[in-house]
Amino acid sequence: NAGVMQNPRHLVRRRGQEARLRCSPMKGHSHVYWYRQLPEEGLKFMVYLQKENIIDESGMPKERFSAEFPKEGPSILRIQQVVRGDSAAYFCASSPSELSIQYFGAGTRLSVL
Amino acid sequence: SQQGEEDPQALSIQEGENATMNCSYKTSINNLQWYRQNSGRGLVHLILIRSNEREKHSGRLRVTLDTSKKSSSLLITASRAADTASYFCATAIIQGAQKLVFGQGTRLTINP
């Protein structure tokens, strides 16, 4: 049973470009969470999705950021018109149900030049 | 405001010694979890303790939870060089329990 798969592991973008981060949850997991980690800091919650639904996006910036978890395929975190402040590690986690353990992927490290 | 705060921010001990890390939080929780993160890697789940539990063990790990003081501690006994990592506590709050609120972590270094 493969773990949570995130790709790419590293992503370099220039200011103004778009970044797409993908997350495939563990088999049988229908709950997906995205977190952002700035250097030397803990993780900050961004968004919680179940299949085809956004349940809680209270941690998402109001502009440029969006997330989806379609019926088929991975969850996508999309950042439009990236700025240097978006440089961070973005982690995805999945769980089989609410209030159960969240299993994390290895993260995508986004660098904005 | 930050929910979880770890103490100390950094800890350096000799191999074989015990390491204790503390975590404080502000709001009522459903459960509290501890994670380990090796440098540049993802998070590995260590242990989950529910709000109605006071102590939990897993191998060389011992976690305590004091809901009256809103604090938790993680004890690693007989530390090994491979325990070198950052350790984070994360709380699942009662409202919105689906999301975890992380502290800033304790960087633990085990010296051989």
pLDDT tens digit string along A23-80? 999 999 999 999 999 887 889 999 999 988 999 999 999 999 999 999 889 999 999 9
The closest of A18, A35, A31 to A106, measured between CA atoms, is A35
Mind telling me how many Å the CA of B27 is from chain A's nearest CA? 16
Nearest CA in chain B to A95: B98
Shortest CA gap B112–chain A (Å):
24
Å between A33 CA and nearest CA of chain B:
7
Is the minimum CB–CB distance between B21 and chain A shorter than 8 Å? no
Q: How many CB atoms are closer than 10 A to CB B50? A: 14
Give the SS3 label for residue B41: coil
Question: Which residues have a Cβ under 8 Å from the Cβ of B5 and sit 6 or more positions away?
Answer: B23, B24, B25, B103, B104
- Residues of A in Cβ contact (< 8 Å) with B33: 101
What confidence category does residue B78 fall into, taking pLDDT thresholds of 50, 70 and 90? very high
pLDDT > 70? residue B94: no
Give chain A positions within 8 Å (CB) of B96.
Answer: 56, 58
**E strand residue ranges, chain A:** 5-7, 10-13, 19-24, 31-37, 43-50, 53-56, 65-68, 75-79, 88-95, 103-104, 108-112
A69 within 8 A of A78, measured Cβ to Cβ: no
Give the whole-angstrom CA distance, residue B57 versus residue B75: 9
Q: pLDDT per residue over B1-53, tens digit each?
A: 345 678 888 999 999 999 999 999 998 888 899 999 998 788 999 999 999 99
| Per-residue tokens: B8 | 């100390």
CA distance A98 to A95: 7
